[in-house]
Amino acid sequence: MVTTHATPEDSPDRSAVRTLLRLWPYVRPVRARMVCAAAVAVVASCLALVIPLVLKWMVDGPVADRDPAGVWLGALYLLLLGIVEALLFGLRRWLVARPLAGVEASMRAALYARLQRLPVAFHDRWASGQLLSRATTDLMLLRMFLAFPLTFLLVNSVTILVGVIIMLIQDWTLGLVILVPAVPVIVTCVIFERRYASVARRAQDQVGDLTTVVEESVLGIRVIKGFGRHRSQARAFRELSRTLRGTELRKARLLAAIWGVIVTLPELAIGAALVLGTVRVADGELSAGTLVAFLSTALALRWPVDSIGFLLAMSQEAATATERYFEVMDAAPESDGHQPARADGEERADGGDGGHLGLRFHDVAFRYPDAPGDSAPLLERVDLHIRPGESMALVGATGSGKTTLTALVPRLHEVTSGRITLDGRDIAAMPREELRTLVAVAFEEPTLFSAGVADNVLMGAAEGAGEADLERALGVAQAAFVHDLPEGAATQVGEQGLSLSGGQRQRLALARAVVGRPRFLVLDDPLSALDVHTEAAVEAALRDVLAETTALIVAHRPSTVLLADRVALLSGGRITAVGTHRELLRTSTEYAHLMAGTEEAHR
């Protein structure tokens, strides 16, 4: 799953400068040190341009007059200038190192916080490797850009300007010779910038694709080994690596081309100035010291000019990294609420005497945001009322939308139309944080984090939950195996909890759902990975929990259905029947068929 984004080729109005200016809010807190560092670097760079002036004084003065003391004095000046220049550049690096590490950390923290607030639909569309590469590779590129290219684009520009002025003052004829390559160099830079931007974006997206493959291969290593697919996976990885290598080589070719132009043309100009200057010195039109100073200034500008190519390249990569970063930051986060809550009396009118209490679906419809506009909704005209303290089993064929319906309750997805209420309150008008303290969820595919067992379970509890809450939840989930682990509840379960069996992970996920004693409980087939005996024990313990909460339970097995007070049959995206298990067996052929099939499958 790889998200396709517009590349610079698709965006003719793209401006690297405008893109990079979006970093200002993150750089603003350290702007003082950044400005100081730039000023120090400008002073250090301009000091290098004083050296040719000292050489001119030495050649036309002490050297021409055969004055050894003057020569030694000039050498001392040159040594002092070199030491001061080195110290200033060291000071510049010290000024930017710590604050830029802080900028990178703050941007990474902001990205992580935004990822937590983005809706599930966003994460469904994006490959995890693309997000990981934005949080690692892209932010590293931005830190490097802020530390070096950003400063030296300014420093080198000032240095070149000052150096050209010095050369023109010394001899305007030779200065004009040196300036001849300026136009072709500028044209080359403009062409390079446009082409390199496109290739840089492609390379960074391909790094994201490669990261995705590596992550999926690590997480799916059991499947790869189990089916003997390591060779095919390795071939797929090599193919992506080869594609990335080709893109990187194209970047290198573009960089080599601009370097060829930027290095060759100024060198030819310096050579021409050397020949012309030598002739003029021989004719007595120019002093030897002036020629030495002029050529030394020109040579001092070689590094600022030669560096234009890779500074532009790093700037384009930073602009691309900024675009990729803000593609995530600009995504719309989950809203806290978008509909006004209806008055309590209005809700009572809907439900009659107390009918507004409990969990209710009011004419709910749902279509995935990226589904074609003319496609039929997955859920349509769903009306269902789960009374306070009641447990409702949700039954339906595979693909009927049961999991999607349960995901609407904690607002992992937003309803397309209609509304859902908890005790008369529209969940769309409730802050998500409040909603998710009222509703606890256990998914069919349990997810555990690289943390201790206790940390994973207590994630479902409010602040301050302790040992007693943990033990109660483990007891409900029949997770006594925790005490046999090497460090008990403090044992680290490893990434995705893969060090545990599927049934153990599912029981810990169930414990996490019940540990906080939620008012509303949504269970998506929570016992599917358990053996018959463990399932019976968990169901017995769950009955006490269900007696204290309002629950919606996706069920496939008759034994799970029997946990519930009533059953709802979901078919064709609608609730087609509601009643007790016995009633539906008598009145609904589809329900009887489903139960007969599941009972036969689990014998």
Give the span between the Cα atoms of 527 and 507, in whole angstroms: 8
Residue 138: DSSP 8-state: I
Give the span between the Cα atoms of 286 and 295, in whole angstroms: 13
Inter-residue contact 530 to 459 (CB < 8 Å):
no
Give the span between the Cα atoms of 154 and 263, in whole angstroms: 20
CA distances to 231, 366, 563 from 257, rounded to whole Å, are: 38, 54, 73
What is the arithmetic mean of pLDDT over 441-448?
81
Q: Which of 553, 507, 554, 510 is nearest to 531 (CA)?
A: 507
Of 5-19, 143-157, 533-547, the one with minimum mean pLDDT is 5-19
DSSP labels, 524-552: ESTTTTS-HHHHHHHHHHHHHHHTTSEEE
Query: What pLDDT is stored for residue 337 in this prediction?
Result: 55
Residue 61: DSSP 8-state: I
Read off the tokens for 541. Answer: 């313990």
pLDDT in tens, 329-383: 998 887 765 444 444 444 443 444 455 789 999 999 998 877 777 778 899 999 9
Q: Which of 261, 256, 251 is nearest to 188 (CA)?
A: 261
pLDDT band with cut points at 50, 70 and 90 for residue 597: low
Give the span between the Cα atoms of 324 and 107, in whole angstroms: 13
Read off the tokens for 102. Answer: 């802080």
Query: What pLDDT is stored for residue 444 in this prediction?
Result: 76
Position 581 pLDDT exceeds 80 = yes
Q: Is 401 left (phi over 0), alpha (psi -120 to 50) or beta?
A: left
Q: Which domains does the chain have, with CATH numbers?
A: 19-329 (1.20.1560.10), 344-601 (3.40.50.300)
Report the share of the chain in percent with pLDDT over 90.
Answer: 17
- Mean of the per-residue pLDDT values for the chain? 83
Query: What pLDDT is stored for residue 600 in this prediction?
Result: 47
Taking residue 23's Cβ as centre, other Cβ atoms within 10 Å add up to 21
Inter-residue contact 137 to 131 (CB < 8 Å):
no
pLDDT in tens, 376-408: 889 999 999 999 999 999 998 888 889 899 999
Q: Which tops the pLDDT comparison, 56 or 395?
A: 395
Torsion sign across C-alpha atoms 265, 270, 275, 277: positive
Query: What pLDDT is stored for residue 349 in this prediction?
Result: 37
Position 570 pLDDT exceeds 90 = yes
Inter-residue contact 594 to 573 (CB < 8 Å):
no
Residue 603: DSSP 8-state: -
- Can you name the residues that pair with 522 across neighbouring β-strands? 441, 552
Query: What pLDDT is stored for residue 91 in this prediction?
Result: 81
Give the span between the Cα atoms of 222 and 502, in whole angstroms: 13
Inter-residue contact 197 to 16 (CB < 8 Å):
yes
Q: Which tops the pLDDT comparison, 507 or 420?
A: 420
CA atoms within 13 A on the CB side of 456: 28
Q: Sheet with 439-442: list strands edge to edge.
A: 439-442, 520-524, 550-554, 391-396, 566-571, 574-579
pLDDT band with cut points at 50, 70 and 90 for residue 419: very high
Q: Which tops the pLDDT comparison, 289 or 340?
A: 289
Residue 53 exposed, middle or buried by CB count within 10 Å (0-12, 13-18, 19+): middle
Torsion sign across C-alpha atoms 167, 171, 172, 174: negative
Helix axes 149-170, 50-58, angle to 10 degrees: 30
Tokens 């069919």 belong to 444
pLDDT band with cut points at 50, 70 and 90 for residue 6: very low
Report the share of the chain in percent with pLDDT over 70.
Answer: 91
Inter-residue contact 409 to 427 (CB < 8 Å):
yes
Give the span between the Cα atoms of 143 and 195, in whole angstroms: 23
Q: What share of the chain is helix, strand, coil (3-state, %, to 5)?
A: 65, 10, 25
Q: How far apart are the first and last CA of the chain?
A: 38
Read off the tokens for 187. Answer: 């044209």
CA atoms within 13 A on the CB side of 140: 5
| 3-class secondary-structure state, position 422 | strand
CA distances to 74, 76, 291, 518 from 56, rounded to whole Å, are: 10, 15, 8, 85
- Can you name the residues that pair with 417 across neighbouring β-strands? 365
Query: What single-letter amino acid sits at 112?
Result: Y
